[in-house]
Structure 1
Amino acid sequence: MTVEHIDGQPAAFCTVRAAKLIAWLAAAATLVPVTTRTRAQYERIDLGVRPKFAITTNGGQLLVDGCPDEDWAALVRARIDTQAGPLADVQAVAERLAADGWVRVSRVAEGLFVYLVAHERGAVPDLRGVAADLAADGWRLSVQGRKVYLLPAVLTKEAALVEVMRRAGAAALAAAGDSLLDRGMLAAAELAVRPAHGELHESGWTWPNL
């Protein structure tokens, strides 16, 4: 079944069984979609449920009943302002990388981080030197398939999940993910699940709760 449309065209899918399991999970627990997608990109998705809480933009946005929590957004931006270098400097780094010709798309996500999309996965160069330079300025670089993310180190999914758990009165967290940016969230959970494919699987990532 289709779960996402882009410009009116089907773009993402899940099995009917998966959709039923999502509905069951939403009824049995506090289901919290968590994504690096921007709010607009997340809102293209329809999983057949309406969770009270959702986390987008890698923790930069906390949606409550579909509306952004402005207090959380302000707190996140304050943390970034005090613990990471200017976004403009990172944009300049992204522009230099794009000038090498391997970048198809370069975007700023809600004024919080930058991501690049390569023409093809094999075209992404060795970026370890760039990552080290960014780390010294409070930023991190994550390569995931054709995408390269440049994010403030303090911008994390797990920080937003701690806030959701506080508001929901939740005592335990189970989390699932396949992205390298999910590692902190999975490590913080009592029970963590990852599929046998994707970046975490390819990197051999594991944890005692996995």
Structure 2
Amino acid sequence: MIYSRSAMGDEQFATLAPQCVEIYQDAPISYMTAHSQELLAHLAATVPVVPVTTRTQAQFDRVTLPGSPFPYAVVSNGGRILVDGTDDATWRASIDHAVRSTAADLDTVVTELRRRTDDSWVKSLRIADDLFCYLVVDLASQPADFLADWTQWCGRHGWTVSQQGRKIYATPGCVTKSSAIGEVRRRLVDSDRITADAPLISAGDGWLDADLLEASDAAIRPRHGELENLGWNRDHVAVTRDSGALAGEEILTWFGDYVRSATEAGDRDINQDAVNELEATP
């Protein structure tokens, strides 16, 4: 939903009236188009919207999204659930237990990653939320065989690898966006915010989003990003016509159309039930 100026490209940045939604170290770094902001604000006023991101809580808190504050948000790739902006300690404790039970520890992974990399192509190695790590790399200098070899090693140790532009993430395989959203969905049903049969619709562009798209009743991905590069498609996952910030607008329009169609279908069912009840009344 948000894009850096370079991700938008000069033409889109010049023509789409982007508005800054993230400032870091006193500089604007992320934007949304005005139309995207309008679409997201309307969507959040209509149905429960749950922001989901690989960003840590601190990184997510830098972003000002229309429709906020959100009752729930998922950050750290599912490692944390925020409830009214506050970290749910119980969920995080369950995640830490799952990682200890199923995957190599973070120190082991970071040690192996350092052994495999050097300053000739790695700009930095960062630890996120004491849970996962990622590299920021020089794409032109990245060794051609690194990603495949690193993915194989991580797979043997219970971790998942994803490259999104200049960033290469390594995350515990048990830490997923779909599991966190499953927990949020359970809470929304328990609190009568949604019905048990309410559809889940989602969007994402990277390998770390794939499990969430798979778990959704319907989903959409943009015509750019890691999943596009991998040629990843599913029957229930639509693909935008455009890329960049225009894809963001298209995704939000698709969300709105889906919600409107589902609401109209529900209203028709209710009206038909009323007719059936009337016809059955002597």
Tell me the TM-score normalised to structure 2 length. Answer: 0.72
1:74 counterpart = 2:64: no
Q: Alignment partner for residue 136 of structure 2, among 117, 120, 123?
A: 117
Moved more, 92-101 or 28-37: 92-101
Contact 2:102–2:158 (8 Å) recurs in 1? yes
1:113-146 CA distance string (max 9 Å, x none): 110000x223222221222122111112222211
Task: Answer yes or no: is the 8 Å Cα contact 2:178–2:215 preserved in 1.
Answer: yes
RMSD: 1.2
Match of 1:32 among 35, 50, 69: 50
C-alpha distance in 1 between matches for 2:78 and 2:99:
12
Structure-to-structure mapping, 1:1-210, within 5 angstroms: 1-48=19-66, 49-99=68-118, 101-118=120-137, 120-125=138-143, 126=145, 127-169=147-189, 170=194, 171-210=198-237
- Kindly name which structure, 1 or 2, has the bigger radius of gyration based on alpha carbons: 2
Shift of residue 180 of structure 1?
A: 1.6
Describe the SS at the equivalent of 1:123: coil
Amino acid at match of 1:198: G
User: In structure 2, what is the Cα distance between the partners aligned to 1:129 and 1:11?
Assistant: 32
Deviations 1:10-54 (A, max 9, x none): 111111110011101111111011000111001000013211100
The answer (yes or no) to whether the contact 1:94–1:116 under 8 Å persists in 2 is no
Which 5+ residue runs of structure 2 have no aligned equivalent? 1-18, 238-282
SS for the counterpart of 1:14 is: strand
Spell out, residue by residue over 1:146-190, the C-alpha distance to the aligned partner (whole angstroms, 9 max, x if none): 111111110111110000000011432000111121101001111
- The Cα shift of 1:100 comes to 5.2
Q: Per-residue deviation at 1:94? A: 2.1
Q: TM-score, normalised on structure 1?
A: 0.96
Q: Alignment identity in percent? A: 39
The amino acid of 1:88's aligned partner reads D
Shift of 1:203: 1.7
Unaligned runs of 5+ in 1: none
